[in-house]
């Protein structure tokens, strides 16, 4: 299974709206406009983390994660269910130097995409970072 990072735009979908609408256990669907590389496929059972970049607002960080339920290639619709500790993260997003560093490494030189595949190397650091942040 793979892990993906979905970047939200603070101007078009502010963190306050994310906090209000996304709850653990609920099913959601969002479009994926930019970022998939030919040959990479999102699959049911993959995990996805939600990230707000610093650009465009003042509330950056990792806001939650989810399990991918379905992926529709033809229209690039992603269906997911938010899982723990998403409700905690949306109220206290993981944003420190480590979070910024890992997000930058995942995004590489292309910062304006919607979604990135998280490499196996970064996946462990991402999971450890979120877990450590929530335990504090």
Neighbours of 87 (CB within 10 A): 15
- Does residue 132 fall inside a structural domain? no
134 located within any domain:
no
Task: Count how many domains the chain has.
Answer: 1
DSSP code for 116: E
Structural domain contains residue 135:
no
Average pLDDT over the chain reads 92
Residue 83 lies in domain: 3-126
Burial of 69 (0-12, 13-18, 19+ CB in 10 A): middle
Q: What pLDDT was estimated at residue 34?
A: 76
Taking the C-alpha atoms of residue 26 and residue 83, their distance in angstroms, rounded to an integer, is 9
What CATH number did the domain enclosing 112 receive? 3.10.590
Domain assignment of residue 131, yes or no: no
Convert the pLDDT of each residue in 102-131 to its tens digit. 999 999 987 888 899 999 999 999 999 999
Summarised one tens digit per residue, pLDDT across range 21-35 is 999 999 999 988 777
Considering only CA atoms, give the Rg of the chain. Answer: 14
């Amino acid at each position: 299974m793979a892990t993906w990072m979905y970047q939200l735009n603070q101007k078009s979908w502010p963190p306050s709206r994310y906090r209000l609408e996304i709850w653990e256990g609920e099913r959601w669907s969002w479009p994926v406009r930019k970022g998939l590389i030919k040959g990479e496929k999102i699959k049911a059972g993959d995990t996805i983390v939600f990230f707000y970049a610093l650009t465009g607002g003042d509330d950056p960080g990792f806001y939650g994660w989810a399990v991918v339920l379905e992926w529709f290639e033809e229209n690039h619709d992603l269906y997911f269910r938010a899982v723990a500790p998403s409700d905690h993260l949306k109220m206290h997003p993981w944003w420190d130097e480590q979070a910024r560093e890992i997000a930058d490494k995942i995004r590489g030189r292309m910062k304006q995409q919607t979604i990135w595949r998280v490499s196996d190397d970064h996946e462990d650091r991402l999971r450890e970072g979120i877990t450590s942040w929530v335990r504090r």
